[in-house]
Amino acid sequence: MNFKKQFKEGLLTKNPVTVQLLGMCSTLAITTSLFNGLGMGAAVTIILICSNVLISALRKVIPSQIRIAAYITIIAGFVTVVDLFLQAFIPDLAESLGVFIPLIVVNCIVLGRAEAFASKNGVLASAVDGLCQGIGYTVALTIVCVIRELLGSGTFGGGLLNGGEGIRLIPAEYPAMQMVMPVGGFLVLGFVIAGSQWLMQHLEKKNKKKEAAK
Amino acid sequence: MEAILGIIIAALLSQNFILVKFYGICPFMGVSKKIDTALGMGMAVTFVMALASAACWVVNEFLLVPLNLGYMQTVAFILVIASIVQVVEMFLKKAVPALYKALGVFLPLITTNCAVLGVVLVNVQEGYNFLISVINGAAGGLGFTLAIVLFASIRARVDKANPPECFQGFPIALITAGLLALAFMGFSGLSIF
């Protein structure tokens, strides 16, 4: 088990959003304020860890023909728990994420990690994998959130800082409303993914140069 | 009647499932490389969405509500959807093998299409009756088909373009989708009633 490698994979080289391109729906839909992004990221991370652990523990019991159905049932159970928890304790977040909390059930990240990792690896490694992938998802989500919120509402930390209003960085009359609307989601995510591809290509070139120098 | 028309228009254009509400982005990006497969996927999704809306309404009304099991909604609905997709798959395999082959791997993937679970959850939240639920499901599916076919047509051209290296593939597709969403934003004020 290699925690550092798993962490790097989750954060950059195999980031669920920018590289594996999973879980697009939630990434595009709810990334309009920092509060939403962090909340959604935390919810998905918790569900990922729990479902990874349980699926990994049961991996020898579940027959492979019905594994997908079994995984989805397990995931749906945890999603329901998180959904009810948020409704009871953080109603603001539950309201602003809306139907996208129950939709975590069909978020390909969770099912994808269950199929690709938890069904083949031990409990502890699966828990670490869930945590790393969850952090990668949260970071990507937060970046998209910060950009969209800044351009679309002109604020930073909406829903969290400054009594929920966020810190105003651009005067109220200037921000482009479109950026918090669907258009902005597609555009900003496109640029963020392009940025991460550029970063990886850049690192690769650097590595090659290093090797060539050797 | 007017309410029905309003729902159809909303699901098709002003509240388009993909471009305005962000349901079903995964197949929208994954299955939009060819117009034929995009159309086939759209039709299959439309069918499953209408069927799932009907089945989940029945399950909710006659099973979950009387038994006070509202909190089991997500689990129950996803199981219903998974079984519907399975049944559709088996039926097509026997009855229309040509269509089954054309859809291939996309059929089982409909289970994890959030447009299906999304429309079912919205139906229940909005308290739609049986007829309206089914219409909302079918119209939502048609809206999905419209968006995915439009996008596949544009993408056929974009693929021949030559963007900067880091924009190749997915990023440029997302930006294209953004422009398409911008066009659909023009429908946002559209409400007849």
pLDDT in tens, B118-131: 899 888 888 888 99
Buried b or exposed e, range B20-45, using 16+ CB within 10 angstroms: bbbbbbbbbbebbeebebbbbbbbbb
B113 contact A CB<8A: yes
The ipTM value here is: 0.83
Query: What is the model's pLDDT at position A138?
Result: 92
Query: What is the model's pLDDT at position B133?
Result: 92
Report the C-alpha gap between A93 and A133 in whole angstroms. 22
Report the C-alpha gap between B27 and B114 in whole angstroms. 10
Size of interface A-B (CB pairs under 8 A): 123
A112 contact B CB<8A: no
Binned at pLDDT 50, 70 and 90, residue B150 comes out as: very high
Report the C-alpha gap between A54 and A119 in whole angstroms. 10
Could you tell me which of A113, A62, A114, A69 has the C-alpha nearest to residue B111? A69
Report the C-alpha gap between A194 and B165 in whole angstroms. 9
Q: What is the mean pLDDT of chain B?
A: 85
What are the mean pLDDT values of chain A's consecutive 10-residue runs (214 residues total)? Answer: 76 80 82 88 93 92 84 91 92 87 86 87 90 91 89 78 70 79 88 88 85 79
Q: Which of residues 126-155 of B touch A (CB under 8 A)?
A: none
A103 contact B CB<8A: yes
Q: What is the mean pLDDT of chain A?
A: 85
Return the residue in B75, B123, B144 with the most chain A beta carbons within 10 A, the one to mutate for interface testing: B75
Q: What angle do CA A166, A170, A173 make, to 5 degrees?
A: 105
Query: What is the model's pLDDT at position B19?
Result: 85
Query: What is the model's pLDDT at position A79?
Result: 93
Name chain A contacts of B23, Cβ cutoff 8 Å.
25, 103
> Which among B22, B72, B166 has CB closest to A198?
B166
DSSP code of residue B15: T
Residue with tokens 């050797």: A214
Neighbours of A118 (CB within 10 A): 28
Query: What is the model's pLDDT at position A159?
Result: 67
The DSSP H or E segment spanning A167 is: strand A167-168
Say yes or no for a CB contact (<8 Å) between A72 and B82: yes
Answer yes or no: are the C-beta atoms of B191 and B15 closer than 8 Å. no
Name chain B contacts of A107, Cβ cutoff 8 Å.
114
Query: What is the model's pLDDT at position A168?
Result: 78
What is this structure's pTM? Answer: 0.86
Name the closest residue on chain A to residue B168, using Cα atoms.
A194
Query: What is the model's pLDDT at position A157?
Result: 73
Query: What is the model's pLDDT at position B55?
Result: 93
Say yes or no for a CB contact (<8 Å) between A24 and B25: yes
Residue A124: burial class (beta carbons within 10 Å; 0-12, 13-18, 19+): exposed
